[in-house]
């Protein structure tokens, strides 16, 4: 379980997070939604300790994690843009991460599932965006961590890989893991998410089930519901 309390963050004069309070439960997939610049990635990076908040607390199983580092062993993270050191080969990168962070075991199976064998000896710089994203998924899912954070995991994936990704996420959920996902693809949200968090201007505009969001906005389609909120906020 991860709990965020009164989280504030500003970059210079720009306030990105203005007091976020939220709890993510185990066994639940929560989709973090919001327009560009609403603070989704900042929230995620704060949880990971890559961004240092100006105020507030983040608790992982009731332990404050701000300024800590060992807790990241309990997080699998798929970053937004899969950029890797270009002169490394795929299997060298996987080996390196396994060396730096012991405990990986699923990599062989994941490489099989995602059909990455033909690329193992290729340099990361020579891979297509979608293939790089698959490598990204292997790096995150090869660890058996109770918290999984996916930042735009679908970028560049073909339909087959997308189905595989959904299956992966579903099987992790069954193991009782806490899963956070940001995406702009509403179909995916409707299909897999249990709950939705909608961020707007650094505040939580909505937190609840997808059906509740639809009720609140009076729309029967999630995409339209989101559009309705955005129209209100721009107006």
Partner 1 sequence: MLKILKYSFMDLMRSRWSYVYFFFYLVLGFVLFFLNSDVTKAVITLMNVIIVLTPLIGTIFGVMYFYSSREFTELLLAQPLKRRTIFAGQYLGVSLSLSMSLVIGVGIPFVLYGIFGSTAIWDFSTLMLVGAFLTFIFVALSFNIALAFKDKIKGFGFSILMWLFMAVIYDGLFLLSMMIFDDYPLDKLALGATLFNPIDLSRILILLKLDISALLGYTGAVFKNFFGTGLGLFLSLSLLSVWVIVPAALMLRQARSKDF
Residue 204 engages partner 1 in binding (rule: CB under 8 A): no
Residue 51 engages partner 1 in binding (rule: CB under 8 A): yes
- Residue of the chain from 77, 119, 141, 206 that contacts partner 1 (CB under 8 A): 77
Beta bridge partners of residue 196, listed in sequence order: 31, 208
Question: How far apart are the C-alpha atoms of 177 and 216, rounded to whole Å?
Answer: 28
Beta bridge partners of residue 150, listed in sequence order: 78, 181
CB of 99 to partner 1, least distance (A): 6
Residue 214 engages partner 1 in binding (rule: CB under 8 A): no
- Residue of the chain from 23, 52, 163, 170 that contacts partner 1 (CB under 8 A): 52
Place of tokens 């937004």: 80
Residue 48 engages partner 1 in binding (rule: CB under 8 A): yes
Question: How far apart are the C-alpha atoms of 1 and 6, rounded to whole Å?
Answer: 17
DSSP character for 123? B
Q: Which element (helix H / strand E) includes 17? A: strand 14-24
Residue 101 engages partner 1 in binding (rule: CB under 8 A): yes
117 burial (CB, 10 Å; 0-12 / 13-18 / 19+) is exposed
- Residue of the chain from 24, 71, 198, 206 that contacts partner 1 (CB under 8 A): 71
Count residues contacting partner 1 (CB under 8 A)? 26
Contact criterion met (CB below 8 Å) for 138 and 94: yes
Query: Which one of 17-25, 97-105, 107-115, 189-197 is the stretch in contact with partner 1 (CB under 8 A)?
Result: 97-105
Query: Which one of 56-64, 69-77, 107-115, 172-180 is the stretch in contact with partner 1 (CB under 8 A)?
Result: 69-77
CA 164 to chain CA centroid, Å, is: 16
Question: How far apart are the C-alpha atoms of 219 and 211, rounded to whole Å?
Answer: 10
Residue 45 engages partner 1 in binding (rule: CB under 8 A): yes
- Residue of the chain from 62, 63, 69, 159 that contacts partner 1 (CB under 8 A): 69
Positions that interact with partner 1 (CB under 8 A): 11, 45, 48-52, 69-73, 75, 77, 79, 83-85, 87-88, 96-97, 99-101, 139
């Amino acid at each position: 379980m991860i709990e965020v309390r009164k989280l504030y963050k500003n970059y210079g004069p720009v306030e990105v997070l203005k007091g976020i309070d939220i709890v993510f439960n185990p066994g639940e997939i929560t989709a973090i939604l919001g327009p560009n610049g609403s603070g989704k990635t900042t929230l995620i990076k704060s949880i990971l300790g890559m961004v240092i908040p100006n105020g507030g607390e983040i608790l992982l199983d009731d332990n404050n994690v701000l300024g800590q580092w060992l807790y990241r062993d309990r997080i699998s993270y798929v970053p937004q843009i899969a950029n890797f050191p270009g002169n490394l080969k795929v299997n060298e990168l996987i080996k390196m991460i396994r060396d730096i962070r012991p405990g990986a075991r699923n990599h062989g199976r994941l490489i099989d599932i995602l059909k990455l064998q033909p690329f193992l000896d290729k340099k990361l710089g020579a891979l297509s965006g979608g293939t790089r994203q698959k490598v990204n998924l292997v790096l995150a899912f090869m660890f058996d961590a109770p918290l999984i954070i996916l930042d735009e995991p679908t970028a560049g994936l073909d339909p087959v890989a997308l189905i595989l990704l959904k299956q992966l996420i579903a099987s992790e959920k069954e193991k009782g893991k806490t899963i956070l996902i940001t995406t702009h693809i509403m179909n995916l949200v409707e299909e897999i998410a249990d709950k939705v968090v909608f961020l707007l201007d650094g505040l939580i505009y909505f937190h609840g089930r997808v059906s509740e969001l639809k009720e609140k906005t009076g729309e029967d389609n999630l995409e339209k519901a989101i559009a309705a909120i955005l129209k209100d906020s721009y107006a």
